[in-house]
């Protein structure tokens, strides 16, 4: 073997693939009932989209992006998250000119060069929703409600909703001054990256993963203390709506999210250990940042499918098992092969899960294989069975055998 998969990547197959399909299936079903349409955007974009949209002082842009020059000397980046690409597509394709709001969902690969950890790989998979055109807190409630239903359908019980408000540009300016004043008094305790961020974007320091910075910011001023009237009213209405919807939440002033485009509401679903399973919030300025001609409010979220699978395993949640093979059709003799395979195809077209022999095994070996793959029933077809139009159907659980007509066998399963 000449190589192995790159560090921080994963091969999807078997049980993990089955779990992923279930997760995606539940998400798709919910999006359908919420009238949210699917979008697929390129796996790579021009680098400037993420520099301007995500923020040049974020860890994502400074440390984690996979960026390269293509053969035309254009700077290209593998998408580190789904929102910026969705906003670019919303604008470039003129979706803002259609009746609003516009609600889009996606499943996408995301790439971040960081230390691989539980539920976060360098190449991971995200499910996300972007809701354009509404400045009402009801838009946040819509997405939080969908996520609450999603967690419930999966069977996750440990996910708790945490919310915060980081304000808008007006109150952020006043907050940044207060935060900067606090940080200046403790500048010697900051990591080198945060010392640089202190002047450019002090809010990003609150998201630093360095232990010394995390300890320092525990006593830092909180955004919620500096909200202007509009942002405060927005947050209060959000809390009232969630309360009326019987969706429990905790106000967590430590949430700022790691991307610069967020305004006002930010939220996370966290597990019992405080590990973030899903994050999102409002980003009313991002559309304008990408296209200065447009001022369109928006809100969205994203979660890593790998993280959800890890949480399911941690909580011991058993998802629906893969459908079993309804019937294994054994083939006896070369002359019966074509007709037996036609029989297999007829049953598959009727909607049955059917497997057969492709290795010219003995009948004994075929039955052993049928047992290994968990086939519910087996039938052996040779020349005699075809001539007589009947064969013995065996229930693999009970061992009971019943003679049945081949041309009516699908009726026994439907």
Q: What is the pLDDT of residue 180?
A: 83
Question: What confidence score (pLDDT) does residue 259 get?
Answer: 65
Nearest by Cα to 223 from 205, 248, 237, 210 = 205
pLDDT (0 to 100) of residue 57: 64
pLDDT value at residue 154: 96
Strand 250-251, strand 263-270: pairing: unpaired
Encode the chain (414 residues) as per-residue pLDDT tens digits: 999 999 999 999 999 999 999 999 999 999 999 999 999 999 999 999 999 878 776 778 878 899 999 999 999 999 999 999 999 999 999 999 999 999 999 999 999 998 887 767 999 999 999 999 999 999 999 999 999 999 999 999 999 999 999 999 888 888 888 888 888 888 788 888 887 777 777 777 777 777 888 888 788 888 899 999 999 999 999 999 999 999 999 999 888 776 678 899 999 999 988 889 999 999 998 999 999 999 999 999 999 999 999 999 999 999 999 999 999 999 999 999 999 999 999 999 999 999 999 999 999 999 999 999 999 999 999 999 999 999 999 999 999 999 999 999 988 887
pLDDT in tens, 139-153: 999 999 999 999 999
Summary count for the chain: helices (H), strands (E): 14, 16
Domain assignments of the chain as residue spans, ordered by start: 14-168+228-314, 327-412
The answer to whether 266 touches 166, Cβ cutoff 8 Å, is: yes
In the prediction, which pLDDT does 45 show? 96
CATH classification for the domain delimited by 327-412, as one of 3.90.580.10, 3.40.50.800, 3.40.50.300, 3.30.2010.30: 3.40.50.800
- Look at residue 205 in the predicted model and tell me its pLDDT: 79
DSSP-assigned letters across all residues of 25-67: HHHHHHHHHTT-EE----SEEEHHHHHHHT-TTSHIIIII-EE
Q: What is the C-alpha separation between 65 and 79, in angstroms, rounded?
A: 8
pLDDT of residue 297: 96
> CA of 408: how far to CAs of 63, 344, 389, 400, 404, in Å?
64, 13, 10, 19, 8
**Nearest 10 degrees: Cα torsion 122, 126, 129, 132:** 20
∠ CA(323), CA(326), CA(332), 5° rounding? 140
pTM listed for this prediction: 0.90
CATH number, domain 14-168+228-314, options 3.40.50.620, 1.10.3720.10, 3.30.300.30, 3.30.930.10: 3.30.930.10
Which H/E stretch holds residue 288? helix 286-290
C-alpha to C-alpha distance for 378 and 395, rounded to whole angstroms: 7
């Amino acid at each position: 073997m000449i190589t192995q998969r790159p560090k921080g990547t994963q091969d999807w197959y078997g049980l993990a693939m089955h779990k992923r399909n279930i997760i995606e299936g539940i998400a798709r079903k919910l999006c359908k009932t919420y009238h949210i349409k699917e979008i697929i955007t390129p796996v790579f974009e021009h680098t400037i989209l993420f520099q301007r949209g995500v923020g040049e002082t974020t860890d994502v842009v400074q440390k984690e992006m996979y960026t390269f020059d293509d053969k035309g000397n254009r700077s290209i980046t593998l998408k580190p998250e789904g929102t910026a690409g969705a906003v670019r597509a919303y604008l470039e394709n003129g979706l803002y000119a259609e009746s609003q709001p516009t609600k889009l969902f996606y499943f996408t690969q995301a790439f971040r060069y960081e230390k691989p950890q539980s539920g976060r790989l360098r190449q991971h998979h995200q499910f996300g929703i972007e809701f354009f055109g509404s400045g009402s807190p009801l838009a946040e409630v819509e997405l939080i409600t969908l996520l609450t239903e999603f967690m419930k359908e999966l069977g996750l019980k440990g996910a708790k909703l945490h919310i915060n408000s980081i304000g808008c540009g007006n109150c952020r300016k006043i907050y940044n001054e207060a935060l900067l004043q606090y940080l200046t008094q403790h500048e010697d305790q900051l990591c080198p990256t945060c010392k640089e961020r202190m002047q450019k974007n002090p809010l990003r320091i609150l998201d630093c993963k360095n232990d010394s910075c995390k300890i320092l910011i525990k006593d830092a001023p909180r955004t919620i203390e500096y909200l202007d009237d509009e942002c405060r009213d927005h947050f209060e209405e959000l809390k009232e709506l969630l309360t009326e919807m019987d969706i429990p939440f905790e106000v967590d002033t430590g949430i700022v999210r790691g991307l610069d485009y967020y305004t006002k509401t930010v939220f996370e679903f966290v597990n019992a250990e405080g590990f973030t399973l899903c994050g999102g919030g409002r980003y009313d300025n991002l559309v304008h940042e990408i296209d200065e001609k447009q001022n369109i409010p928006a809100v969205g979220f994203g979660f890593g499918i790998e993280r959800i699978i890890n949480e399911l395993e941690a909580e011991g949640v058993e998802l629906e098992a893969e459908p079993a093979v309804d019937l294994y059709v054994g083939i006896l003799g070369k002359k019966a092969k074509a007709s037996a395979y036609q029989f297999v195809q007829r049953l598959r077209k009727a909607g049955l899960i059917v497997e057969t022999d492709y290795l010219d095994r003995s009948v004994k070996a075929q039955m052993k294989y049928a047992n290994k793959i968990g086939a519910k029933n087996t039938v052996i077809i040779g020349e005699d069975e075809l001539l007589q139009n009947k064969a013995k159907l065996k229930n693999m659980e009970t061992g009971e055998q019943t003679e049945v007509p081949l041309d009516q066998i699908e009726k026994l399963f439907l």
